Amino acid sequence: MPDAPTTAASPLDAALRRVGDRWTLLVVGVLLDGPRRFGEVLEAVPGLAPNILSARLKALERDGLVVARAYSSRPPRHVYELTEAGAELAATIAVLAEWGARRGDAAGPLVHEECGTPLETRWWCPGCERPVDPEEGEEHVV
């Protein structure tokens, strides 16, 4: 039987391979607030088992999204923090959180702390310096 044809992964497929499981974005979300010890991350993500957290942190480190810095050698202990590439996920997490809030899966919509207005996600063209409707794009990269 011939092998199935291989196709190049789409950008969305590539992203999901790195962060598309149940726990990874929740771990990244915790680390957006700054470096955390293993136990602190575990406590911040209800329902996450220690072995799963350990596997996710190793995968994130392997993918260059998290760095582990030793703070104790006996016993070995680390603090985990996002790399620049990991911190770039902040906008993605905010968009997903907004989507979840609009669908009633969270406590409510994200709001501007200063005035209380619900926030909206917009595409922005830095070249034209204006908001853009994503449907205007010539090419959808997903």
> What is d(CA 56, CA 80) in angstroms, rounded to the nearest whole number?
12
| Structural element, H or E, at residue 125 | strand 123-125
Task: List, in order of start, the domains of the chain with CATH numbers.
Answer: 11-87 (1.10.10.10), 90-136 (no CATH)
Question: How confident is the model over 121-135, as pLDDT tens digits?
Answer: 778 888 988 888 877
- Give the end-to-end CA distance of the chain in Å, rounded to a whole number: 31
Question: How confident is the model over 69-107, as pLDDT tens digits?
Answer: 999 989 989 999 999 999 999 988 888 887 787 777 566
Residue 119 makes CB contacts below 8 A (sequence gap 6+) with: 98, 109, 110, 111, 112
Q: Is the pLDDT of residue 139 over 60?
A: no
Question: How confident is the model over 3-54, as pLDDT tens digits?
Answer: 544 555 788 888 888 898 989 999 999 999 999 999 999 999 999 999 999 9
Q: Is 40 exposed, middle or buried (0-12, 13-18, 19+ CB in 10 A)?
A: middle
Q: For residue 19, give the nearest of 56, 47, 46 by alpha carbon.
A: 56
